[in-house]
Every structure is written in structure tokens, then in C-alpha cells.
Amino acid sequence: METLQPFVPLVMNVVRYFLFAGIAYWVFYVWKRKAWFYRKIQQKYPTSEHFRREIKYSVFSALIFGCLGTLVFLAKKQGYTLLYTDVQLYGWGYLVLTIFLLIFIHDTYFYWTHRLMHHPRIFKWVHLVHHQSHNTSPWTSFAFHPTEAVIEAAFFPIIVFVLPIHPLAGFIFLLYSIVMNVLGHTGFEFHPKNSLKHPLLKWLNTPTHHNLHHQYSRSNYGLYFNFWDKIMATNDQQYEEKFDEVQTRIATAKSGG
């Protein structure tokens, strides 16, 4: 069994993609396909060919994520990383803190690597594959060119060399990351109607925010939060208008109009 341990991250990354993307696909595109169509940001569904292309690239991406996870496992066994297993070494407070640190640092990492990949000299070689999905689905979440998959997956292997991380904190972070990634690509809006005016919720990115990014490829580079897009003035100018349009459609459907 010990000889199989290095392959656990590889299997887990493939499983987590198909589990969470598959559940979201079944909920939004099968079970609630008609009932929730009013929540669909773009009022049309991607084709079957679209889904097949996304899944094909996603399988390779999941394998790349898994391979880097295996490298982290092997590096830990050799004592090269700052991963630790004894909670008492830093305490529960630090463990919880690192979960939030991972999320916030990852959001910054994503924003700036994402903007870099939109540079005209880089875009078509690295990021174009992901942007072939103009109308996103849960399967889009891992549909990367292999080079982009390496860039996306590199965050965690890098961070474990500079920050002490307990595996539990890493697991919760990776779980949060895949859930938010899949939900952001569903193509359905489920945030409350006043989210963009709420003092706290306005800092969270919505599916509409990322959907606009896929439609026009010119703005909205953030992942979890809207901090960097606000600071760098890279929010799409029609973001609020589009969000309100979708919310009006949702309110009308709920009222039976």
C-alpha cells in the first residue's frame, strides 16, 4: 500500500474534478435544466461538442494537477516542504488562519497570472483553449491548455515551500477552490439580488462576473474576490447592468410574470 501512496494525489485530483463538475452539471443542466433556465446568464445552452472538448482538456488538466500533487508528496517525504502533520506544532488557530491565507494569496496569484495570460503575445499559446468556452459550463472549470494547467496547479506546490501548511488546511483550501471554480463556471446566477450593493457580498465575485469575462475576454480577471478588479479598475463596465438584468429576469420568473 505504501508504494501506492504517491499516486493518491493523482487519483484525488481526477476524482474531485469529475465529482464536483459532474454534480453541478447534473443539477444545472439535467435536473433543473428547464426549471432554472431563467437563471441562465446567457439564455442558451452549450452544444454536446462543446462539453466533449471541455472534458477532454479537463482530463489532462486534472492529471497535471495530480502529478504536481504527487511531487509535493514526494518532496514532503524528503523533508523539503514546510508541510507538517502535528497540529500542536502551531496550534488550531494557525491552522484555521492558513486556510484563509491560502484563499487570499491564491486569489492574488490567480489575478496576476490570469492578466499575464491575457497578454496578446501569450494569450493564443496558453489561455485561448479556456476561452473557447464563450458560454461556460461546469466542465469549463478545468478546460485548460497544458501550459495553463501547470501555471494554475503550481500555486500549492510553491506555497508549501514558503508557508507551514497542515494537510487538513490544504485539503479544505483545495475543496473550496474546486467548488468556487465550478460554481463560477456554471453559467447560472444564484447570488442574492442586492449582492453588488451589500457591504460584504459586493467583494465576492458572482457567476455573472466570470461569465462576462468569457464572453468578451477583456476584463474581470479575479477568481474569488473583487478586490483586485476594483483596485486595478478592470471590472467590466456593464457588470452591474448585466447582473441586474439577470436578477430582474429571476424576480419576474419567481413572481409568475
Tens digit of pLDDT for each residue in 46-77?
Answer: 999 999 999 999 999 999 998 898 899 889 98
Residue 108 pLDDT greater than 90, yes or no: yes
Q: Are 192 and 201 in contact (CB under 8 A)?
A: yes
Tens digit of pLDDT for each residue in 129-182?
Answer: 999 999 999 999 999 999 999 999 999 999 999 999 999 999 999 999 999 999
> What is the structure's pLDDT at 5?
65
3-state SS of the chain: helix, strand, coil percent to 5? Answer: 70, 0, 30
Residues in CB range of 246: below 8 A, 6 or more apart: 39, 41, 189, 208
Instruction: Give φ, ψ of 204 to 5 degrees.
Output: -95, 135
Q: Please give the angle made by the CA atoms of 250, 252 and 256, to the nearest 5 degrees.
A: 115
Q: Are 236 and 213 in contact (CB under 8 A)?
A: yes
Tens digit of pLDDT for each residue in 171-203?
Answer: 999 999 999 999 999 999 999 999 999 999 999
> Where exactly are the structural domains of the chain?
2-181
Number of H helices, E strands in the chain: 11, 0
